[in-house]
Structure 1
Amino acid sequence: MLDWLLRRKAEPQPCTEGLPEMEGGPFFIRPMEAADADLLPKIFCAAIHGQAAAFYSPAQRRAWARAAADQAGFIASLNQGLTIVADLDGRAGAFAQLHPDNTLRRLYVAPALGGYGIATLLCQYLEDEARILGVEALHADASLAAQRFFEQMGFTVEAAYSTRRVGVAIPRLKMQKVLRKG
């Protein structure tokens, strides 16, 4: 394990320039703001190339991360539904999206901020929002890298499938968490 961590630190990580690092400061959850437009695509890209590296090939990660290449389109897609941000010292460090009301669509944390419970808080916040909206079951289209996290949050795998991005197949999982028993 230590050998893997040392190799990972030595490898250049794409998309990490300008991202926040945890320096002991508190963070809080807030709605996405226009000022986040520069950092959210970088967080998305860096998370894919960082946390997902053990589960996806370089070609799969490049194809997946291309969704953020069109920054305006990427931000427009985040303006759908509810997108929340973990703010660290006035800068976005993670984000998550609920769209439509019953689907946790995106959940990405800057690599340097992993392990501090930020993803858990974002997920819990959106789960609470879904409950308030009367949603009976929350769905997530999860990456293989996120499977364990979602299972720890109470989600179960419903099906495995692949999506195609720029001609590259990317394995995904349809997951669900029952919020209200009918």
Structure 2
Amino acid sequence: MMVLRRANRNDLKELQSLYIESIEGLGKLNYTDEQLSAWKSSVNNRERWTEAINNQHFLIAQINKKIVGFGSLENGSYIDFLYVSKNHSRMGVASRIFERLEKAALKLDQTELESDVSLTAEPFFKSKGFQTVRENKNIIQGIEITNLRMKKKLK
């Protein structure tokens, strides 16, 4: 049975491990090894992770007390994180997290959601009613990584 709960600082290490596993396992469909390495490097920014856990609506999905996915809502309308274990992909984990984040945005009277999503995550976000607004070219450690700004009208 899947349980959703708020994240706390004690979850940091397990969240970071799942982040790396998800990028390695799912990101390889759309990105080179060099791009994946650059993307994963953001795991080292402990301050950003701690700030997100403390200040965002940060949810964790657990099965048998193991974290299998997580997502966060920043400033009530921006989905900052949404990652799932490669072993739990396409099992409804991301959908459950997304539904809770969307409900939180609606409670805050938000009119839209937005996110910068990987090429790998684009089909998921499209299935939830998001539309691509623009393509972003990000430079991380000198490596160009493309992602997409996507938005969804809520009202």
TM-score (norm 1): 0.81
Q: Paired residue for 1:40?
A: 15
The structure with the largest strand share of the pair is 2
**Distance change (3 Å), C-alpha of 1:135 and 1:30:** same
Q: Paired residue for 2:44?
A: 69
> Per-residue displacement from partner, 1:87-133 (whole Å, max 9, x unpaired)?
11122211001012110111000111112100011111100100000
Moved more, 71-80 or 85-94: 71-80
Q: What are the within-5 Å matches in structure 2 for residues 105-120 of structure 1?
A: 105-120=80-95
Instruction: Select the residue among 20, 23, 27 that pairs with 2:2.
Output: 27
Provide the C-alpha distance between the structure 1 equivalents of 2:47 and 2:82, rounded to a whole number of angstroms. Answer: 19
Q: How many positions carry a matched residue from both structures?
A: 155
Provide the C-alpha distance between the structure 2 equivalents of 1:164 and 1:80, rounded to a whole number of angstroms. Answer: 26
Provide the C-alpha distance between the structure 2 equivalents of 1:158 and 1:83, rounded to a whole number of angstroms. Answer: 25
Q: Secondary structure at the match of 1:51?
A: helix
Give percent identity, aligned residues only.
24
Establish whether residue 121 from structure 1 lines up as the match of residue 96 from structure 2: yes
The alpha-carbon deviation at position 70 of structure 1 amounts to 3.9
Instruction: Select the residue among 82, 86, 96 that pairs with 2:57.
Output: 82
Q: Paired residue for 1:146?
A: 121
Instruction: Say what the alpha-carbon RMSD is for the aligned residues.
Output: 1.2
The structure with the largest helix share of the pair is 2
Q: Which structure 1 segments of 5+ residues have no match?
A: 1-25
Provide the C-alpha distance between the structure 2 equivalents of 1:77 and 1:126, rounded to a whole number of angstroms. Answer: 14
> Per-residue displacement from partner, 1:36-75 (whole Å, max 9, x unpaired)?
1111001111111111101001011000001112445423
